[in-house]
């Protein structure tokens, strides 16, 4: 499949990022689905040193591919995509997971919300409206816990703080290119934005069931996740003075 050119651009241009690790079973479908939902929009797959054919499969499906020399983790991958998008002059970037769980038909609405709201970040949320979306009990407990933690920090409720279906504009790209959590980035990224007095918006989106591969989250990893993210949130909150300086410099 022919690739959409990825030339340095100016003006209102969108790039779709797809971080992927061992997703050869789903990646082609994701790339094609993005192409159907957003014709003419380039897709950049960030292959986190997969052991399978993710990179080649994505390239054949029509995506541009960035391959890493070793496994960086989700945050490291996504930050690379943000840096590259910023260097190439993109105005908007929407991130879609490579496992096919995000419904790419929601991308146009996220893009529209990014352009019209002026918010630095738009989150595709499963829970902002009761759209019949549910998740496992442990994950649900974690989401409620982090909602409660983030409420006083962000000054408003974020219904789906762990969502990876996220769009950002160029102002956020400039910040995330320099400072982005390297592991479990979603929740910490919200705090990073808040420290710069940036705004976010949630719009309802659907999550599809995983059809290939399996989730890497185990019970022990969940506990590690909670401790890690809590510490990350705390560290970012303590960067208050630095954050204020950045706002003043804008």
Partner 1 sequence: MERLLHCTTALSIILIVMVLTSVRRAHIRVEYSVSWLLASIALLGVSLNPSILAMVSNLFGIDYSPIVLLLIAGAVFLLVFFRLSVIISKLKDDNIALAQRLAIVEFYLRHDREQA
Distance CA 63, CA 30 (A): 10
Binding mask 17-56 for partner 1 (x = CB under 8 A): ----------------------------------------
Q: Which of residues 160-199 bind partner 1 (CB under 8 A)?
A: 182
Report CA Rg, the chain.
17
Distance CA 201, CA 116 (A): 11
CB nearer to partner 1: give 83 or 109: 83
The answer to whether residue 226 forms part of the interface with partner 1 (CB under 8 A) is no
The nearest distance, CB 83 to partner 1, in angstroms, is 7
The answer to whether residue 6 forms part of the interface with partner 1 (CB under 8 A) is yes
The answer to whether residue 84 forms part of the interface with partner 1 (CB under 8 A) is yes
Among 80, 169, 194, 236, binds partner 1 (CB under 8 A): 80
Closest CA to 184 of 50, 102, 78: 78
User: Which run of H or of E encompasses 65?
Assistant: strand 64-67
CB nearer to partner 1: give 2 or 219: 2
Binding mask 87-126 for partner 1 (x = CB under 8 A): x---------------------------------------
The answer to whether residue 8 forms part of the interface with partner 1 (CB under 8 A) is no
The answer to whether residue 70 forms part of the interface with partner 1 (CB under 8 A) is yes
- DSSP symbols for 82-134: HHHHHHHT-SEEEE--TTS-B-GGGHHHHHHHHHHH--SEEEEESTTTT-S--
Closest CA to 216 of 188, 191, 183: 183
The set of residues, in sequence order, having a beta carbon less than 8 Å from that of 244 and lying 6+ positions away, is: none
Query: Which residues lie near partner 1 (CB under 8 A)?
Result: 6, 64-70, 72, 76, 79-80, 83-84, 87, 182
């Amino acid at each position: 499949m022919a690739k959409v050119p990825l030339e340095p651009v100016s003006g209102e241009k969108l790039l779709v990022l797809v971080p992927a690790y061992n997703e050869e079973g789903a990646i082609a479908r994701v790339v094609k689905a993005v192409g159907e939902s957003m014709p003419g929009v380039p897709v950049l797959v960030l292959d986190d040193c997969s052991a399978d054919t993710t990179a080649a499969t994505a390239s054949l499906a029509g995506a541009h591919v960035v391959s890493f020399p070793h496994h960086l983790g989700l945050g490291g991958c996504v930050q690379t995509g943000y840096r590259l998008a910023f260097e190439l002059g993109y105005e908007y970037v929407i991130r879609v997971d490579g496992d096919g769980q995000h419904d790419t038909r929601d991308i146009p609405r996220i893009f529209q919300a990014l352009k019209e709201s002026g918010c630095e970040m738009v989150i595709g949320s499963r829970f902002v409206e009761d759209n019949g979306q549910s998740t496992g009990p442990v994950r649900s407990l974690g989401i409620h816990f982090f909602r409660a933690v983030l409420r006083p920090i962000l000054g408003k409720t974020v219904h789906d703080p762990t969502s990876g279906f996220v769009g950002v504009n160029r102002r956020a790209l400039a910040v995330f290119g320099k400072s982005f959590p390297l592991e479990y980035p979603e929740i910490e990224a919200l705090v990073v934005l808040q420290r710069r007095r940036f705004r976010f918006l949630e719009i309802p989106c659907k999550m599809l069931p995983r059809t290939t591969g399996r989730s890497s989250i185990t019970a022990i990893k969940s506990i590690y996740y909670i401790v890690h993210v809590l510490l990350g949130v705390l560290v970012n909150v303590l960067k208050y003075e630095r954050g204020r300086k950045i706002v003043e410099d804008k």
